[in-house]
Structure formats: C-alpha cells, structure tokens
Structure 1
Amino acid sequence: MGTRVRGPLAVLLVGAVLVSGCTAGEDAPEGGGGGVRADATEQELVWEDCESGLPGSECAVFEVPLDYEDPAGERIEIAVKRLPATGDDVIGSLLINPGGPGGSGYDFVDHAPYKFSEAVRESFDVVGFDPRGVGRSTPLTCLDAEEIDEFLGADYGGEQGADDLADLGPEGLAEIEAANRAFVEACEENAPELMRNIGTADVARDMDVLRGLLGDEELSYFGASYGTHIGARYAEQFPERVRALVLDGAVDPSQDQLSVSVEQATGFETALRSFVQDCLDRPDCPLGGPGTSVDEGIAALEALFAAAGEEPLSNITGDGREVNRARAELGVVAALYTENRWPMVREALTDATEEGDGTGLLLLGDELYGRGDTAKYENSTAALTAVNCSDSAAPRDVEAYAEAAADAAEESPVFGPMLAWGALACAFWPQEAVAPPGELDAAGADPIMVVGTTRDSATPYAWSEALASQLDSGFLVTRDGDGHTGYRMGDHCVDTMVDEYLLELAVPEDGMACADHLAEAAG
C-alpha cells in the first residue's frame, strides 16, 4: 500500500470567534415569529426568552421566501437572537455575523460582552441570526456525521506512494474526485431547492427583511471574515439603506473559488511562520531548541505530519477516529486563526511529539469545524461548502485543481495543496446555482469601513485592500498584527476607529494605518 496523503480542507473563513451552528429549532422559542402573509415584511417578530444564552437575551423566528423569484412560494425559517442595549440613548440595532460560511450569528450574540465595546452595547441592540441553511434556521444537510468524518479525515492513496496533495497520481485523483462528487450528490438528494438558493445574495435579502422587522430605516452591521461578504453584498443590493457597515477581515468578491482557496494558503503560510517563530522563542517549543530557524521548525512540523500519515497518532477520546495527517493538520490550522490558541497548539504538538498523542490536535480541528455534537458538525460543513460553491464560479476541470495544488505548494508547502483541493466540490455544483462573477461597488452607499490585518491567517490583507478599493465609498483601516480580524484584537487605535464610526459615523482618512494615526495624534 502506498503512502497515504491527507484530505482537502474546504475554504473556511471563520471570523472573530469559532462559533458552531445548531440544529433547526434547538434553543429557539416556541411559536416562531408570528403570522406570515404574502409579503415577508408583513410579519412581526415575537420575542421570547431564550432557552440559553446571556441573561436578558431574546429570541424569535421569522420566515422568508426560499426563492425570492417566487415570493409567494415555499418559505423557510430564520432564527434570530438579540441582546437589548444597556443604555437609554439607543441608536438602533447592530446586526452581526461571525463568518464561516456556516457560522452562527445567533450564537455570536452570546459573545457580545467581549467582542463589542461597552459603548457599542450601550447604544445598540446586538442582533444575530443564523443565515439560511445554517444552524437553527432551516438547515442544509448533505452527508451525515459519520460521512463528514470520513470526508474531512480522508487520506488519498497517490500512485507510487505520492506523499502530498500536489501530486496525487491517477488513483488519488479518482478518489478525491469521487468523494467530492458524492458530497454534492448528497446535497442534491437531501435539499435540491435549498442548495440552489443558499448564496450570499439571498442571505443579504433575508437580512434586509430582518432590518425592516426590527424597525430600522437603515442598517448598522458588523461582519467578520465571510461576514464581510454578506455586508458587501447587502450594500450592493440596498445601497440606500446603509447606515454603517464594518467589514473586518475582508473577502475579495471578485475572485473565483479556486483563486480564493489558493490565495488563502499564503495567509496561512504567513501565520504559520509567525506561530513557529513565537514557539521557537520559548523554552519549551516542541519544534526545536535554541538556534533553530523558522524553516527548521516548519520542517519538524512537516515531519510530524508525515509520520502521522504513515502511523496515526493515538486518540484517547475513544471515538475510533485515527489522528492521521489530515486531522493533525486541521488541528494546527485551527490554532492559526488567533494568537489566543497558540498555547493550545504548542501543548498539542508537545503531546504529539513526546507521547505520540494526537488528541489535542484532533479536538482543535473539531472546534474549527463545529464538531460539538453530531447535528452541529454535519450542518456547518454542508453550509460551508454550499455557500462557497454558490457565491463564485469555479473551474469544472479536475486537472485545474491539480495544477493549482502544485502552484500552491510553491507558495505554501504545508497547507497550500490541501486548500486548493478544498474547492473541488464546487466543480460539480449546479451551474444555475452559482452567482455571476464581478466586483461589488455598492454605488450610492454611505461610507463603508473595511478593517484589514497585515498578517491575517484566513483572509490575506490584500483582500481587505481589494474590497476597500472596489467599494465606491469604502475606506480601509489597517491593523498591523497577527491573527484573524482586527477589531477587539488588542489594538486600541483600531477599536477606537470602529467604535467612533459605528456610534458617530466618523470616517478616518482612507488607508489610515493605526500607527500613522497615533503618530499624527501625538504630533
């Protein structure tokens, strides 16, 4: 049997925190969102106490058309949660989304006390919803949990013992193509209509329905990572209804899905090198001792992955999963989203190198894909793939992915090929369900803030630059740092700019990096 290689990593643009979805109806109030008439806007939000979450939070359900081209046709449910403003002088609602795709805006509300400043929480009702297909809203289900485990943890046997995803050979190509075809076929079998109406353009229309039901004439919104695409798409469709949009850790909407996957690899490469350097600067780094270079540390990490591909690490959870190369890599990728998780991955790598124990890496990967329980795990992965494939075109020729994997290996040897192959399901997505390509300019919208972090792992800084330049009224605020997204990540200047924009609609100079801003203020 040839050397086994890891499975692909679907493009995951997790935002400010790792938030999982839940099954439809779980933790949602009984009774839903009131009567629904022919027009989705002619309903009322019936707020009830949430079964879990922060004290004082309120939950409701409303309905929207499955297909906006058939507004009188089938309806789907959208679950929403709000945390009322703590102050008396309330501006309105601040709608929020943590990213994903597949992240739960409903759950994101429970993170408001540390994700948003006290001043923002005093002035806004913080409102989050699960986008269509996600969590407590009408969910998209493709594979079951066991099949998802196999999909994410697959090792593909390359011809002549190929040891990486950049060179699978005919046998490996056939296996990875079959797995991705089966994924799309399962979506088609379980939810043929929802999979054709799950793209971000529809999510933006759902958000406008919610804005109206909340009684806000204009939208105030904070979106992280993939959530930036929801906000940009909203501004494109409803520019006259924009009050203030903060798009933090931006996605470039002009790129096709394969390009997004390959360019994301550069972000993870940058983040990996920062993590390894930080690790090597500590006395207990499992990747090397004093005098070890970053390249040598990365080589040690690659050796660990290769060894896990040959002989899986142990797993003390008892769930029967092998901690092979695919699952070991997922664990490291999960930790690269934020510096807060660097100590966790150092400990997990220490367990792996010294004890052969991969449990820590396995659990970090589980957190990335929302494997808190069976229902959460299967839905978040389906939504992730479906939205990615619906939002932008992708090549239909499998060879294009093989070529991209080889190219990505040049820029990001560790994660590049895995991310390139992660877009392969989109090669088989129904053509009629894919949004047309193009930039978003949101002509006529009031100023829109884009926040970019220079060494962002999941959304490269160049994407924030691109989105800010595409939007007619876009302006860029730069955080010089590591980790994914910029607001409330330890930079007081960025936090101040975001707060002043949301509260007072203050617009700093375009492209103002916070280091320049502080120097100017001091002068």
Structure 2
Amino acid sequence: MRISSRHGARLRGAIPAALVTAVFVAGCSSGGVASKVKDSAGNPGAGVPGAARGPGLDTTPIPGAKGQNDPSLTAFYTQQPDWKACADDPETAADEGELECASLRVPLDYANPGTKAITIAAMRYPASASGSARIGSLLTNPGGPGGSGLDYLKGSFESTDPAIHKAFDIVAFDPRGVGESSQVKCLDDAERDRRDAEDGPDPKDIAASTAFDDQRSKEFVEGCERNSGDLLPFVGTRNAARDMDILRVVVGDEQLNYLGYSYGTYLGALYAEEFPNRTGRLVLDGAVDPAADPLDDSIAQQVGFEKSFTRFAEDCATRPDCPLGSDPAKAALVGVDFLDGLRTSPLSTRLTDGRRLTSSLGWTGTIRLLYADEAQGWHALREALTAAMERGDGTPLVLYADDYNGRDENGKYDGSMDALSVISCADGMSEAPSPQRVQEVLDRLHREAPLFSRDTVAEDLDGPGCEFWPFRTTEKPHAVKAAGSKPILVIGTTGDPATPYAASERLAEGFENATLLTLEGEGHTAYGRGNACIDDAVNAYLLDGTMPAPDTRCS
C-alpha cells in the first residue's frame, strides 16, 4: 500500500509478557494496517511478506547444497562461540549474570558464503538439570520483525516454567539486522521522535498527503542505504532461518526445538520449509499465514483491531469510570473521535522533554494496549484514556507509544522499527493491485472496519508497498507444507487483533503435519499468559512430544 502519514502507528505483535513491565513490544503480523498504523518509514501496509518494485539486485538465495552438509558452510557450522556470563543490567531487578552470552558468525550472503560474514548475538538460560533429564535447547523468537530475542529473554527468564527450565537451555538470539547482531540503521533518534509524533497533512487533502508520504519514504530509504547499505539486501527472513540452523548446531542439537511468537511463526515456518528433516518440537503461537496476500492480510488486521477496540469500548461503557460514556453502542465512536481529534488539539504531558500527545502517538499507545488481554490491556487503556480525556494529561498514552516504538526514557531508540521496515521490504514482492481490486478491498474495509478506515481512500491502497525500496526479491507469499517435518503445534487466539485467528487455521492446514490449539479470548498470542489449559498443552508437547487432541479449545 502507498506510504502514508495520514494515520497512526504501524502494527506489530507483542510478546506475552506482563503488560506494564514488558521489556519490548515485539512480534508482527504479516501485514500492516492500511489506515490507523504505519511503520517507521510511514508504510501502512508493508508486512511479511513485504513488497518492493523497481530495478535492483535479486537477493533470493540460490537453491542447492545448504546447511551443515554444504562444504562452503563448514567453517560456520563448526565454530565454537565463547559463552560467558552476561553483564548484569543495573536497571532491572533480575540478575542477568545467570544468563550466558556469546556471538557467532554467519554468511552475509548464503549464495556466496565466502565473501563476508556478519555477527549474530545469542544468549542462553542454562537448563537447571543435566544428563538424561536435559532434553537440549529451546530456541525462541519473540516476533517483529525487529524484536530482540535477547531483550525478550532478559525480561522473561525468571518466569520460565520450572519444568521447561529443567529440561531445556532457553536460547535467544537477535536476528540479522536486529539489536546486538549486525544491525540495520536508518534514522537517528531525533528524526524518530519527529516522525512518530507527526500527524502530517489533513487526510482530506489527498495530493498533499501523498506527496508528504513519498518524501518521508524516500528520506527513510536514503538513510538506510547510507548507514546499512551492505546489509540491506540480505536481512530477509529466509536468511534468518538459515542462521538458526547454524545456531542449532553450535549449541549442540541434532534437531531444532523452537518457540516462536507472531512474526516468529513465519520464521519458524520458513525454517521448517528449509530444513524439514532437522525439525524437533516446533511451537508457533499467534500465527502469520505465509500464503496470505499482503493486502488482504493488512485489511484483516485492521478489521481485527477495530473489533478488539469495539469490544473494549462496549465493556468500558458498562463501568462507572469509563471515559467513553455509558452507551455501549456509541462508546467506540467516542474513542475514535477523540484520538482523531488530537490532530488539531494535541494534549500536553508531564514529560520533561515537552513532548505532546498527538493523534499518531495516541493511536500508537491505544494499539499497544489492545495487544494485551482483557484483564491487563483493557484496564490500562481505560486508565490512559481517562487521563487524556478527563484530565487533559497525555502522558500515559505517550509512554505506551514509546514502549511500542522502542524508545527508552532517555530518548534512545532500540532500532526495532528500522528493522521492522527493512526486513518487511526484504521479505517479498507484491504487485500493485488493479483499480478494481483496490475498490473491492476499500469497500470491504469500509464495511468491516468503518471507524478505523473512515479516512482511508483508494490512494492508500493503490501501491504494492515499499515503493522506493532499492532491492528486489523473488520471495512470494506461498503455503508452507514442510513435508517430512516432525509434528508442529500451531496456536491461535480467537480475539487476536494483530494476527487474526484465521491465519493460525490456514498455517496449520498448510503444513503436512500440524495440530491447531485454540484459545478462546482476547489478546495477541496465548502461551505464557497464565491460561493453564494452553500452558499445560504446550509443556506436554515440549517435554514429551505429546500433542493436544485435534480441535482442542481452551477458554
């Protein structure tokens, strides 16, 4: 879709950590939302697979010999990283000295592995058992694209289920382009602050909005090329999956045991496709459908978030402290009017840097809280909207937006939004839709998400996304069968706004050998959120390979 500054934040997924104490908002669906959300470049719809057009380098890895049996990769598979105690972070209550850190080298370009290597940062939480009680390693990915596995493990290792910790070394890594690994860099902190808060021209002025969006996109791409030019063509998810196979061997495992959330399900699916005979116990939670058309996926995500916001608003209206009024039929509209109204009437905050709550930041903070479940997210969203709507204090929503955007209290960004855009655009190519297709999609959007899409016009949907990206890839949406893999466990949540439940159904159906486990409820992802039915089923699979019965549903 056309790069657009007309609406709020780009959607990503979220790890299932405690809402307020979550280290990082990671995970991503396979499409952006065409109206209310955008990525750091202003992209409302670049997702997984992403899109690009125009002449450039074909960066698709060549088929043929690969993996640990490829002689050209022997040096990478036989390396022995130096695992050492991680440095303790004085700003956290946990003792990160219990974790071990190391780095490994992987090829920049798997088609030409001898040309240049890049660094992958890894971390592990050693199993509490040894000998026959230890199963091996459990590799994890919190999502994104752009989510830091290291930050995820630092924020979650103390709450790891004791049975899982006993049996597995919990292993995390920052994928190529992300965090402490060889990182992409496009924008500096000051430019991010400006872009994240910027609402742009009046959305009714289509020409001005389009010109503004295109200029922002060009500037973003120029920054990426200037700061990370060598890395850009090679940060796609398929290469990250190949990196995971090197990591599997480096930690000493014959097969990959893996827990992936949201975008991490796409990474896990591509690993299973690349290395079906190396799969062990794979858990894919909050699934991305690799066969989904990016435009359809974007629309489904926007519909999912409007439904989630509407359910929140209806619940809010039944409570005496609801800032959206007492009429459940009107509460969602009241909230949307307020958030859109911040374009012309931003609110002050208590922040020392003087930042205000704009419409873009307001929508970002709201979307951030809709990733969580009813118990945590809805309560926090009521409080944040009450502060803004009744006390004129935009501080809470700005802080939730900061958490979403990877900004710390000192104004430093973690690079996750750069990586989100770059990896999305490196992951695939979709053609610009026909005018008839645009109109069909626009009609569906206005019909199924009338509030969130009320400013969306055809011009927001008429491009393929990543309009000015300099590299092309032949990676395309496709069903992943992973013939020959071990059984794969897919988990979907019926009220998941970021990766709607239908994507989990389709992913499970596409695999040759998979079982779907369902959580009936709200929020993004299911495992580790305290639902005993889900947690027990996943633990049984990870610990002894016992799959839940087909069509198991947890309430």
Name the TM-score, length of structure 1 as normaliser: 0.87
In structure 2, relative to structure 1, the CA distance for the partners of 1:67 and 1:136 (3 Å cut) is: same
* 1:80-108 C-alpha deviation (Å, 9 max, x unpaired): 11011122311000001111111111122
User: Match of 1:429, SS?
Assistant: coil
User: Match of 1:490, SS?
Assistant: coil
Distance 2:305 2:147 in 1: 20
Q: Which stretch shows the higher mean deviation, 386-395 or 107-116?
A: 107-116
Match of 2:163 in 1: 119
* 1:48-96 C-alpha deviation (Å, 9 max, x unpaired): 1111253421100111111111111111111111011122311000001
Instruction: Find out whether 1:232 has 2:241 as its counterpart.
Output: no
Distance 1:417 1:188 in 2: 35
Distance 2:198 2:454 in 1: 14
* Shift of residue 379, structure 1, vs aligned partner: 1.1
Match of 1:47 in 2: 83
In structure 2, relative to structure 1, the CA distance for the partners of 1:182 and 1:433 (3 Å cut) is: farther
Instruction: Find out whether 1:477 has 2:513 as its counterpart.
Output: no
User: Match of 2:200, SS?
Assistant: strand
The answer (yes or no) to whether the contact 1:135–1:380 under 8 Å persists in 2 is yes
Q: Which runs of 5+ in 1 are unaligned?
A: 23-35, 163-167, 516-523
In structure 2, relative to structure 1, the CA distance for the partners of 1:400 and 1:493 (3 Å cut) is: same
Instruction: Find out whether 1:259 has 2:259 as its counterpart.
Output: no
The answer (yes or no) to whether the contact 2:189–2:412 under 8 Å persists in 1 is no
Structure with greater helix share of residues: 1
Match of 1:509 in 2: 549
Distance 2:515 2:199 in 1: 43
* 1:132-180 C-alpha deviation (Å, 9 max, x unpaired): 111111110011122222333322223xx72xxxxx5111111112212
Q: 1:333 aligns with which of 363, 367, 370?
A: 367
Match of 2:136 in 1: 92
Q: Which runs of 5+ in 2 are unaligned?
A: 27-71, 89-94
Match of 2:249 in 1: 212
Instruction: Find out whether 1:10 has 2:44 as its counterpart.
Output: no
Q: 1:187 aligns with which of 224, 242, 248?
A: 224
Match of 1:165 in 2: none
Match of 1:75 in 2: 117
User: Match of 1:247, SS?
Assistant: strand
Distance 1:409 1:482 in 2: 23
User: Match of 1:222, SS?
Assistant: strand
Match of 1:66 in 2: 108
Aligned length in residues: 489
User: Match of 2:385, SS?
Assistant: helix
In structure 2, relative to structure 1, the CA distance for the partners of 1:261 and 1:152 (3 Å cut) is: farther
In structure 2, relative to structure 1, the CA distance for the partners of 1:278 and 1:196 (3 Å cut) is: same
Distance 1:476 1:417 in 2: 35
Instruction: Find out whether 1:313 has 2:347 as its counterpart.
Output: yes
* Shift of residue 375, structure 1, vs aligned partner: 8.3
User: Match of 1:267, SS?
Assistant: helix
Distance 1:319 1:394 in 2: 41
Instruction: Find out whether 1:157 has 2:201 as its counterpart.
Output: yes
* Shift of residue 399, structure 1, vs aligned partner: 7.9
Q: 1:272 aligns with which of 302, 309, 322?
A: 309
In structure 2, relative to structure 1, the CA distance for the partners of 1:116 and 1:412 (3 Å cut) is: farther
Q: 1:245 aligns with which of 282, 285, 288?
A: 282
Residue pairs, 1:100-499, within 5 angstroms: 100-113=144-157, 116-158=160-202, 162=204, 168-289=205-326, 292-293=327-328, 295-339=329-373, 340-372=376-408, 377=413, 379-396=415-432, 407-416=444-453, 426-433=466-473, 435-499=475-539
* Shift of residue 511, structure 1, vs aligned partner: 2.6
* 1:194-235 C-alpha deviation (Å, 9 max, x unpaired): 111111101111111000000000010000111111111100
* Shift of residue 273, structure 1, vs aligned partner: 2.0
The answer (yes or no) to whether the contact 1:228–1:247 under 8 Å persists in 2 is yes
Q: Which amino acid aligns with 1:471?
A: F
In structure 2, relative to structure 1, the CA distance for the partners of 1:429 and 1:481 (3 Å cut) is: same
In structure 2, relative to structure 1, the CA distance for the partners of 1:154 and 1:353 (3 Å cut) is: same
* Shift of residue 5, structure 1, vs aligned partner: 7.6
Distance 2:185 2:411 in 1: 9
User: Match of 1:384, SS?
Assistant: helix
* 1:466-513 C-alpha deviation (Å, 9 max, x unpaired): 100011112100011111101122321111110010011112233322
Match of 1:520 in 2: none
In structure 2, relative to structure 1, the CA distance for the partners of 1:239 and 1:263 (3 Å cut) is: same
Distance 2:76 2:371 in 1: 37
Distance 1:500 1:377 in 2: 38
Q: Which stretch shows the higher mean deviation, 217-226 or 381-390?
A: 381-390
Match of 2:51 in 1: none
Distance 2:351 2:331 in 1: 28
In structure 2, relative to structure 1, the CA distance for the partners of 1:123 and 1:189 (3 Å cut) is: same
The answer (yes or no) to whether the contact 1:266–1:460 under 8 Å persists in 2 is no
The answer (yes or no) to whether the contact 1:15–1:226 under 8 Å persists in 2 is no
* Shift of residue 406, structure 1, vs aligned partner: 6.7
Q: Which stretch shows the higher mean deviation, 79-88 or 104-113?
A: 104-113
The percentage of aligned residue pairs carrying the same residue is: 39
The answer (yes or no) to whether the contact 1:199–1:435 under 8 Å persists in 2 is no
* 1:288-330 C-alpha deviation (Å, 9 max, x unpaired): 13xx11x311111022113211111112213243311111111
Q: Which amino acid aligns with 2:139?
A: L
Name the TM-score, length of structure 2 as normaliser: 0.82
Distance 1:51 1:399 in 2: 55
User: Match of 1:99, SS?
Assistant: coil
Match of 1:26 in 2: none
Instruction: Find out whether 1:56 has 2:56 as its counterpart.
Output: no
Q: CA RMSD in A?
A: 2.8
Distance 1:72 1:112 in 2: 37
User: Match of 2:489, SS?
Assistant: strand
Query: Which is bigger in relative contact order (C-alpha 8 A, separation at least 6)?
Result: 2
The answer (yes or no) to whether the contact 2:73–2:113 under 8 Å persists in 1 is no
